[in-house]
Amino acid sequence: MTNEQLATKIKLANKLAQASGDVIKKYFRQPNLVTETKIFERSSIVTIADREAEDAMVDLIRKEAPQDGIIREEGENIPSQNGYYWVLDPIDGTSSFVKGLPIFGTLIGLVNLDENITLLGCVNQPILQERWLGIKGHSPYLNGQVFENPYSQQIDSQIKDACLTSTTPLMFVTPRQQAIALELQKVCKRTAFGGDCYNYVSLATGWSSMPMVILESDLKYYDFCALIPIIEGVGAIITDWSGNPLNSQSTEVLATSNSMLHQQALKIIAQGTNV
């Protein structure tokens, strides 16, 4: 992809964020909003805001980039004609959205699926008017300003001083996953549940009062695709639980504020693989 083509995609990503945000703001903190629990999923809910926000983005992509494919949370995927796919999660953190808490986000990723390269990722929080943009090989932006992570280059980080974060304990389904999560909870200084994508942008931006370790499982591609270039752009780490690059089939995600924490977390995870 040329620089000119990438610039066009970045403009489209911002348009998608604006279009979905306009829908979401219309429904945020509205009483008696109908919700549904997704079949076969323990704690995943969907609202009319999810569906309409996704439809707004899909319509825009079909209009402005008709050859691009779409991997989406709520509707049917659309095949690509050129190898590029938009990966969309209209409201990551619907449980926070329905409680009126502005710690959710719209996730917009663009990938070369054949080469497993996430070219750009956008996280938009329309209520707080915060928008993160990550571009592969570049420092990420928050509301148009480059930001850095104060923890990413620390070479003496110890996992016992870190905060372990997961969206919910219900996401650890198998005995192995539960044992690994419990062991990391014992080792880390703090454990916090909740947050969805906001955990990852907090890690990337360095907002936390201590370095972070994010451990999650039972995820889908749209849950993390857009986060990859944002986290990697500040020198933080995001992989699967084996330390391998994430791909469209990954379900277990480990993100850490720096490589030292990542190495220590992988050792603990490896000890639990025989459970």
CATH code at 46? 3.30.540.10
Q: Is residue 154 part of a domain?
A: no
Name 181's Cβ contacts closer than 8 Å, sequence gap at least 6: 166, 169, 172, 215
Confidence at residue 41, expressed as pLDDT on a 0 to 100 scale: 47
CATH number of 253's domain:
3.40.190.80
Residue ranges of alpha helices (H) inside the chain are 3-27, 48-64, 94-98, 175-187, 197-205, 221-224, 228-233, 259-271
76 is in an annotated binding site: no
Predicted confidence (pLDDT) per residue in 257-267, tens digit: 999 999 999 99
* Whether 128 and 177 share a structural domain: no
Q: Is residue 153 part of a domain?
A: no
Confidence at residue 42, expressed as pLDDT on a 0 to 100 scale: 45
* Whether 18 and 50 share a structural domain: yes
* Whether 38 and 110 share a structural domain: yes
Ramachandran area for residue 44 (φ above 0: left; ψ -120 to 50: alpha; else beta): beta
Confidence at residue 1, expressed as pLDDT on a 0 to 100 scale: 81
Confidence at residue 240, expressed as pLDDT on a 0 to 100 scale: 98
Confidence at residue 35, expressed as pLDDT on a 0 to 100 scale: 64
* Whether 102 and 217 share a structural domain: no
* Whether 8 and 122 share a structural domain: yes
Domain range for 256 = 159-271
Confidence at residue 271, expressed as pLDDT on a 0 to 100 scale: 87
- What are the structure tokens assigned to 15, written together? 């348009």
Confidence at residue 47, expressed as pLDDT on a 0 to 100 scale: 85
91 is in an annotated binding site: yes
Closest C-alpha among 140, 166, 173 to residue 253: 166
Q: Which residues of the chain have pLDDT under 50?
A: 38-43
Predicted confidence (pLDDT) per residue in 223-233, tens digit: 999 999 999 99
Among 78, 111, 146, the domain boundary falls at: 146
Among 112, 146, 180, the domain boundary falls at: 146
Closest C-alpha among 97, 137, 139, 142 to residue 123: 142
- What are the structure tokens assigned to 10, written together? 């970045």
92 is in an annotated binding site: yes
Predicted confidence (pLDDT) per residue in 120-132, tens digit: 999 999 999 999 9
Confidence at residue 24, expressed as pLDDT on a 0 to 100 scale: 96
% of the chain beyond a pLDDT of 90: 87
Q: Is residue 72 part of a domain?
A: yes
- Tell me the CA distances in angstroms from 84 to 91, 134, 210, 232, one per residue in order: 22, 17, 37, 20
41 is in an annotated binding site: no
* Whether 142 and 28 share a structural domain: yes
Confidence at residue 73, expressed as pLDDT on a 0 to 100 scale: 83
Confidence at residue 36, expressed as pLDDT on a 0 to 100 scale: 61
135 is in an annotated binding site: no
* Whether 170 and 128 share a structural domain: no
Closest C-alpha among 227, 48, 54, 257 to residue 132: 227
pTM passes above 0.75:
yes
Among 146, 179, 197, the domain boundary falls at: 146
